[in-house]
Amino acid sequence: MASSKWVALVHFVSLLSSVLTCSSSPDPAGFLQRAKESEFLDWMVGIRRRIHENPELGYEEFKTSELIRRELEAMGIAYKYPIAVTGVVGFVGTGNAPFVALRADMDALPMQENVEWEHKSKVPGKMHACGHDAHVAMLLGAAKILQEHRDELQGTVVLLFQPAEEGGGGAQKMIEAGAVENVDAIFGFHIASDLPVGVVASRPGPIMAGSGFFEAVISGKGGHAAIPQHTIDPILAASNVIVSLQHLVSREADPLDSQVVTVAKFQGGGAFNVIPDSVTIGGTFRAFSKESFSQLKQRIEEVIVAQASVQRCSATVDFIAKERPFFPVTVNSNNLHGYFHKVAEQMVGSNNVRDRQPVMGAEDFAFFTEVVPMAYYYFVGMNDASNGPQHPPHSPYFTVNEEALPYGAALHASLAARYLFENHAPSPSKANTHDEL
């Protein structure tokens, strides 16, 4: 009799221990320790280098996607493919609500790599010059950590491997494909060459600008440069247009409302002594609010047409939104900012979690911030002063400090696991408020 009671007591203690273990809060510091283990880090580094050697542009990431799917299968993680041509969406956890998403972009840039090293790009004219190879490796690292703790997850983590961030609007296409239909919160990240290794940074509210592109053809009447009175000079008209466009920011925008208009393309003429019939100019405009962005767009067209007319030329303006979709402002959830700080501080300490000023660069993660109830984007430092200055993204000399990989992997995993722990449904009735993905 006493023996059976003892067995029952042991069984009860075992069950209680199991329940407590499953309901214990995820350990960010422990996740980081795991990601720093030599075997784990070597695995992430190997993935990153294989992707770096074989860069693929937006919607062409077939080999990258194949590598991702192979790794997910090896981990026993279910996924959907294809999403938005080459995208992959993986799932870790219960398959039920709540749903939290982690995103990494996959595409490279049409640039020739000028860094000589063992794993230099093998594809002429293409390079991972923005760290997306590292982002994929870190998200796979996060997936591995989460899969190792899958029995403790109290909901579902959605892994978004996204194509075509570099101007192709891949995030928008993933949204259209239903990739974040039932997602309650989403996190994205980017490695940062201006932050030390081990430091992470972000801010609430707008963190990256909305952006758009424009191209204008200014038409006049060509002729010999020696007799300009018989021509209508589109080069002179285009020059005046460019100067006038700069007034949109310096004289029409609130100095406290950051905006940018840059003309970076000027094509016209091919001879020293011939005035051409037309000139093509093009550029980008950026702002931190929808209202400012819309106002800039309207005024750019008005100024180009009107200023060309002053010089007796005509002008047509194309905002080329089909080829290069407008990116909205990337806005971080105020509610998630404190949460991010709490989790990150538990992983790297309060001194290594910093506020970051907004930047005029754009990110198509912004599309997710418009449709997911809570969204947050942060930066993972990779600068090592002992190795000298690092080149910024989109430089042919850009490099990745692979010591940063564990930090991105562990923080991404921690943010997702802790979110599920803090937001899981307390009852079956609440757990069914979302359909399964």
Q: Say how far apart CA 28 and CA 32 lie, in whole Å.
A: 6
CA distance between the termini of the chain: 50
Confidence at residue 23, expressed as pLDDT on a 0 to 100 scale: 54
- Which one, of 24, 91, 182, 97, lies nearest residue 424 by Cα? 97
What percent of the residues of the chain are helix, what percent strand, and what percent coil, each to the nearest 5?
40, 25, 35
Name 313's Cβ contacts closer than 8 Å, sequence gap at least 6: 218, 219, 220, 232, 234, 237
Residue reference for tokens 């307390």: 426
Half-sphere exposure of 161 (CA within 13 A, CB side): 34
Residue 124, burial from CB neighbour count under 10 angstroms (0-12, 13-18, 19+):
exposed
209 is written with which tokens?
Answer: 């600008």
Q: Please state the residue numbers annotated as binding site for Mn(2+).
A: 130, 132, 166, 190, 394
CB 192 within 8 A of CB 381: yes
Confidence at residue 424, expressed as pLDDT on a 0 to 100 scale: 86
Name 245's Cβ contacts closer than 8 Å, sequence gap at least 6: 261, 263, 283, 300, 303, 304
Q: Say how far apart CA 364 and CA 140 lie, in whole Å.
A: 20
CB 293 within 8 A of CB 253: no
DSSP single-letter state for residue 385: G
Q: Say how far apart CA 63 and CA 58 lie, in whole Å.
A: 12
Q: Say how far apart CA 97 and CA 89 lie, in whole Å.
A: 16
- Which one, of 379, 411, 436, lies nearest residue 203 by Cα? 379
Confidence at residue 355, expressed as pLDDT on a 0 to 100 scale: 95
List, in order of start, the domains of the chain with CATH numbers. 24-208+329-431 (3.40.630.10), 210-318 (3.30.70.360)
Q: Please state the residue numbers annotated as binding site.
A: 130, 132, 166, 190, 394
Please list the residues that pair with 330 across neighbouring strands. 208
Q: Which uninterrupted H or E stretch holds 247? A: helix 234-250
Confidence at residue 434, expressed as pLDDT on a 0 to 100 scale: 43
The CA-based angle 110-114-120, given to 5 degrees, is 85
Q: Say how far apart CA 195 and CA 79 lie, in whole Å.
A: 33
* Angle, in degrees to the nearest 10, between helices 38-53 and 62-75: 160
Q: Say how far apart CA 80 and CA 161 lie, in whole Å.
A: 11
Confidence at residue 426, expressed as pLDDT on a 0 to 100 scale: 63
211 is written with which tokens?
Answer: 């952006």
Half-sphere exposure of 364 (CA within 13 A, CB side): 23
87 is written with which tokens?
Answer: 């995208």
Q: Which uninterrupted H or E stretch holds 8? A: helix 2-23
The CA-based angle 350-354-358, given to 5 degrees, is 160
287 is written with which tokens?
Answer: 């702002």
Divide the 437 residues of the chain into consecutive groups of 10 and give the mean pLDDT of each group.
Answer: 47 43 78 98 98 98 98 98 98 97 98 97 98 98 98 97 95 97 97 96 97 97 97 97 97 95 96 97 96 96 98 97 90 97 98 95 96 97 87 96 98 98 68 44
Residue reference for tokens 């722990």: 421
Confidence at residue 14, expressed as pLDDT on a 0 to 100 scale: 43
